[in-house]
Amino acid sequence: MMHQVATPAAVRQHSKRHHNLHTVKGIHWRAIRPQDTPGIERLVRRQPFRHPTWTLEEGTLGIAAYVRCGTLLATVLVTHGRTPGEYASLFTVVAVDPDWREEGLGLVGLNLIPQFLANDGIAVDMLFGLCSSKSASYYLQAGYEVTRPREQLKVPGVSQPMLSPDPARSCWFYRHFI
């Protein structure tokens, strides 16, 4: 682990404060819908280290933050594992409009997604994703642990630890929920 993970109480307080500020600004989170696909794909492609042809996989679940006028500001997406053993561990993608970075949208989304999944009857053992060492502190503030660069991650239900395939995002962020 690189630095200290924020305590659950600190994460709740920080997330609640940002969420309240977002609400005042007219920002609301909701489940993604099929018609959101083009906007989500454009937003994710604009993120550092994302491939310009990234596409939203069928079956991806997630939430998105919109302002009243309908502009997409952020999204947190999760995809199921490829095998039954991996199914309870969800790969996570976070994307925030560059003009809205540092506003806490990703932090709020990372902390809303477990409840969204639970409300849909999806039991999650672990959420995980790739990040750069430069962005590690962001995930730590959101209550996620972060590996050192090029460190393997053990995912429940997967026989072999995973190594990041992306040199630019060589760390894993993760959080266990059981």
Q: Where do runs of H (alpha helix) occur along 55-135?
A: 105-119
Distance CA 20, CA 27 (A): 9
What was the pLDDT predicted at 48?
79
pLDDT band, residue 47 (cuts 50/70/90): confident
What is the predicted pLDDT for the residue at 14?
65
* pTM of the complete model beyond 0.85: no
Lowest mean pLDDT, pick from 83-87, 94-98, 141-145: 83-87
Tokens 């760390």 belong to which residue?
171
Determine which of 33-37, 86-90, 159-163 has the lowest per-residue pLDDT on average: 86-90
pLDDT of 168 > 70? The answer is yes
Average pLDDT score over residue span 82-104:
76
More confident residue, 88 or 105: 105
Q: What is the band of 29 on the pLDDT scale with cuts at 50, 70, 90? A: very high
Q: What is the mean pLDDT of residues 55-78?
A: 91
Per-residue confidence band for 62, with pLDDT thresholds at 50, 70 and 90:
very high
Reported as a single tens digit per residue, the pLDDT across 114-140 is: 889 888 888 788 888 889 999 898 899
pLDDT at 73: 94
Q: What backbone phi and psi angles, to 5 degrees, belong to 70? A: 100, 5
Asked if residue 1 has pLDDT above 50, the reply is no
Domain 8-176 has CATH 3.40.630.30: yes
DSSP β-bridge partners for residue 95: 75
**Cβ density class 10-47: b for 16+ within 10 Å, e for less:** ebeebbeebbeebeeeebebeebeeebeebbeebbeee
pLDDT at 81: 59
Q: How confident is the model at residue 83 (pLDDT cuts 50, 70, 90)?
A: low
